[in-house]
Amino acid sequence: MAKTKKLPEIKEPLKMLLSGNEAIALGAREAGIYFGVGYPGTPSTEILETFARIPGIKAQWSPNEKVAFEVGIGAALAGSRTLVTMKHVGVNVAMDPLMTFAYTGTVGGFVFISADDPELHSSQNEQDNRILARFAKIPMLEPSDSSEAHDFMKYAIEISEKFETPLMLRITTRISHAKGIVNLEPWPVPEVTGFKRNPERFVMIPQYARKRHTEVEKRIISMREFSNNSPLNRVEPGTGNIGIVTGGVSYNYVREVMPDAPIFKVGMSNPMPIDSIREFAATVDKLLVVEELEPYYEEQILAAGIACAGKEYFPIEGELNPDIVEAGLIKAGALDGSTSSVHPVGFNVLPRPPVLCSGCPHRPVYQALKKIRADVFGDIGCYTLGALKPLNAMHACICMGASIGMADGVQQVSGSKKPVVAVIGDSTFLHSGITGLLDAVYNQAPMILVILDNRATAMTGGQQHPGTGFTLQGEVAPQVNLFEIVKALGVKRVYDVDSYDLDKTIEILTEASEIKEPTVLITSQPCVLYPEKLPPQPFDVDLDKCNACQVCLHIGCPSISHIDQTTEKGLHLVAIDPDTCTGCSLCDQVCPEDAIFEITHEHAPV
Ligand SMILES: Cc1ncc(C[n+]2csc(CCOP(=O)(O)OP(=O)(O)O)c2C)c(N)n1
């Protein structure tokens, strides 16, 4: 495993082209943050990966977001400025410590990133986490580009320490991944004071927590005043009698479409700068609100008795873009629509829906599960792609860790005749699958759990976790043994499965489905991309034997495709792309005509 390369230290001001995620990581270092912790999840992952490459700091992955948040709390209570990173659904997992950490408050500045994913580019839902910051009564900042993502980190630490509170920095996919110029400054020496006891503040038993709740309410009032006067919220004067309140990525779209409009740009969005917005509203005839997803600004502005309109003209679902914003502004009467300021790129990007890689060790498991006609409860990871055509082999999937509980629940009430199977990846099992399995053992659910142990958090880019044996930096770490965990939870039958051996996998699944208690299969083949590819011994098709039955195409391997040559009935024969075939042999195993063979030296052209 290659160790991550450190970045050079920044000793004098420097301009760099950075993604929002990189900008946050470097901004964190500049803001004196010493400790970073998180759990991977698109679009947040590169923040901690970049932060980990900075010399003189500490960074680590946790098994899930709740743990990451709690480790972060510990670091912050020990006086370290702290960064915690996660995607939007990760905040759901971390919500329990967050809600009460808001009461104790922090010692070292504590910034956690909620990287939201409007349009569900890579997520199971598109919740708007701005609502969660308001719910937790903590401050929230919303940068609009890489430069602000960097600069807001310093403000974030200042605000967090001034009000002794955790702070949410909320970004969205386009902010995370788009690049922009950032002005970097030399790094300060990070300081850590050490933990100082203060039980009335840090031990949240009811008699202390009641007092802390009062502090939270006082804090929100003083933060409101702060927000009204903060340079993070600003008026950009313009021409015309329609004013627009916007923030985050939407600000860029509004500016592109209406470069001269008067804008109130929200940068600190909890508490909302309502008094400043009221003053701005008084300078225009009509106030429009342009924001992605929920009417978060709009509802608070309306609740303050300020007339405005927003979701009437702009969608509540999906991402905004300049086209959508322009259309909404035309509908709202802010633009006449005779000329468009949107410059279409002139071509459509080819859609590339995700597929399991050639040679993915998850693929044969689905083949086997179809064979035993199992009801399959899935989880989140590369293997969720088993739900799509042509595999169609997953029948429910909700959130990380849910597969086991769902399969357990089905069996508690229905006693299904079909085998009931949960499939979960290794990272997801360690994230939140263990307690589900504990429940299945405790309540004796007759179900099969397949742990797809590819030794990687593959879906998000192959990050390390406690089962891989390496740290975030690629240093050797203790490697947890899944087999022993499962045994320790009380599972009596645990099978090792080489998923590339299809017949054996079907045989073990068939045997396991006869057992009337929770049974676990752990697959052993590593991800084809991490840590390294299989030796390339591609397979080929003997066109004299191929009768175009299409069975191999139904395994959904991207290396197999139709060719022009047809049978007498006009059915297309198939070919295997030797450059992408990894030699996993699944197509060979399913071919009923024995028409697929491994290319050996004997077959290789001379
Ligand atoms: C609460 C939450 N955190 C993070 C993610 C992002 N995410 C999606 S799948 C996944 C883990 C995938 O790893 P694994 O379970 O090992 O399956 P693999 O992709 O390797 O097959 C992560 C971290 C998420 N969807 N939900």
> Sorting pLDDT into bands at 50, 70 and 90, what band is 289?
very high
Q: What is the mean pLDDT of residues 307-324?
A: 98
pLDDT at 3: 81
Tokens representing residue 583 in the block: 């030699």
Tokens representing residue 585 in the block: 């042999």
Asked whether the predicted pLDDT for residue 362 surpasses 70, the reply is yes
Q: What spacing in Å lies between the alpha carbon of 61 and ligand 1's midpoint?
A: 13
Distance, CA of 482 to chain centre: 24
* Most ligand 1 atoms within 8 A of CB, residue of 49, 84, 380, 394 to mutate: 380
Report if pTM > 0.85.
yes
Asked whether the predicted pLDDT for residue 604 surpasses 90, the reply is no
Q: What percent of the chain has pLDDT over 90?
A: 93
> Which amino acid residue places its CA nearest to atom 6 of ligand 1?
41
Tokens representing residue 64 in the block: 């899930």
Q: What spacing in Å lies between the alpha carbon of 162 and ligand 1's midpoint?
A: 35
* Most ligand 1 atoms within 8 A of CB, residue of 362, 384, 460, 528 to mutate: 460
Would the CB of 454 count as within 6 Å of ligand 1? yes
What angle do helix axes 434-442 and 402-414 make, rounded to 10 degrees?
Answer: 20
* Most ligand 1 atoms within 8 A of CB, residue of 428, 432, 482, 528 to mutate: 428
Determine the Cα–Cα distance for residues 278 and 305; give it in Å rounded to an integer: 9
* Ligand 1: nearest atom to the Cα of 459: 19
Q: What spacing in Å lies between the alpha carbon of 393 and ligand 1's midpoint?
A: 19
> CB burial class (10 A; 0-12, 13-18, 19+) of residue 339?
exposed
Specify the domain boundaries for CATH 3.40.50.970 within the chain: 14-229, 363-523
Q: What percent of the chain has pLDDT over 70?
A: 98
Tokens representing residue 401 in the block: 């860790």
Question: How many separate helices (H) and strands (E) can be counted in the chain?
Answer: 20, 22
Asked whether the predicted pLDDT for residue 494 surpasses 90, the reply is yes
Q: What is the mean pLDDT of residues 240-245?
A: 97
* Ligand 1: nearest atom to the Cα of 425: 15
* Ligand 1: nearest atom to the Cα of 383: 21
β strands within 200-298, DSSP E: 234-236, 242-247, 263-266, 268-270, 286-290
Would the CB of 79 count as within 6 Å of ligand 1? no
Tokens 């004013």 belong to: 243
Q: What spacing in Å lies between the alpha carbon of 589 and ligand 1's midpoint?
A: 29
Mean pLDDT for the chain overall? 96
Q: What is the mean pLDDT of residues 585-604?
A: 87
Specify the domain boundaries for CATH 3.40.50.920 within the chain: 234-331
Would the CB of 457 count as within 6 Å of ligand 1? yes
- Three-state DSSP at 168 gives strand
pLDDT at 606: 44
Tokens representing residue 336 in the block: 């006449």
Strand partners, 265: 234, 246
Q: What is the mean pLDDT of residues 508-530?
A: 95
Asked whether the predicted pLDDT for residue 532 surpasses 70, the reply is no
Q: What spacing in Å lies between the alpha carbon of 392 and ligand 1's midpoint?
A: 20
pLDDT at 341: 74
Q: What is the mean pLDDT of residues 426-431?
A: 98
User: Omega into 271 within 30° of 0, i.e. cis?
Assistant: yes
Query: Which of the residue ranges 321-330, 362-371, 450-459, 526-535 would you say has the lowest mean pLDDT?
Result: 526-535
> Which amino acid residue places its CA nearest to atom 2 of ligand 1?
90
> Sorting pLDDT into bands at 50, 70 and 90, what band is 515?
very high
* Most ligand 1 atoms within 8 A of CB, residue of 126, 427, 528 to mutate: 427
pLDDT at 482: 98
Phi, psi of 289 (to 5 degrees): -120, 125
Determine the Cα–Cα distance for residues 322 and 343; give it in Å rounded to an integer: 9
Asked whether the predicted pLDDT for residue 533 surpasses 90, the reply is no
> Which amino acid residue places its CA nearest to atom 22 of ligand 1?
41
Considering the domain 234-331 in this protein, what is its CATH number?
3.40.50.920
- Are the C-beta atoms of 509 and 372 separated by less than 8 Å? yes
pLDDT at 151: 98
The architecture CATH gives domain 14-229: 3-Layer(aba) Sandwich (3.40)
- Are the C-beta atoms of 224 and 271 separated by less than 8 Å? yes
Find all residues with CB under 8 Å of 397, minimum gap 6, and list them: 124, 377, 378, 379, 380, 384, 387, 403
Tens of pLDDT along 336-347? Answer: 988 777 767 777
pLDDT at 416: 76
* Superfamily (CATH H level) for 363-523: Thiamin diphosphate (ThDP)-binding fold, Pyr/PP domains (3.40.50.970)
Q: What spacing in Å lies between the alpha carbon of 522 and ligand 1's midpoint?
A: 17
Would the CB of 426 count as within 6 Å of ligand 1? yes
Q: Is 373 left (phi over 0), alpha (psi -120 to 50) or beta?
A: left
How far lies 431's CA from each of 183, 312, 342, 400, 466, in Å?
A: 37, 40, 43, 8, 10
The third-level CATH classification (topology) of the domain covering 539-598 is: Alpha-Beta Plaits (3.30.70)
Query: Which of the residue ranges 45-59, 197-211, 590-604 would you say has the lowest mean pLDDT?
Result: 590-604
Would the CB of 68 count as within 6 Å of ligand 1? no
Q: What spacing in Å lies between the alpha carbon of 460 and ligand 1's midpoint?
A: 7
DSSP state for residue 521 in the 8-state scheme: E
| Torsion angle (degrees, nearest 10) of CA 113, 118, 122, 124 | 100
Would the CB of 427 count as within 6 Å of ligand 1? yes
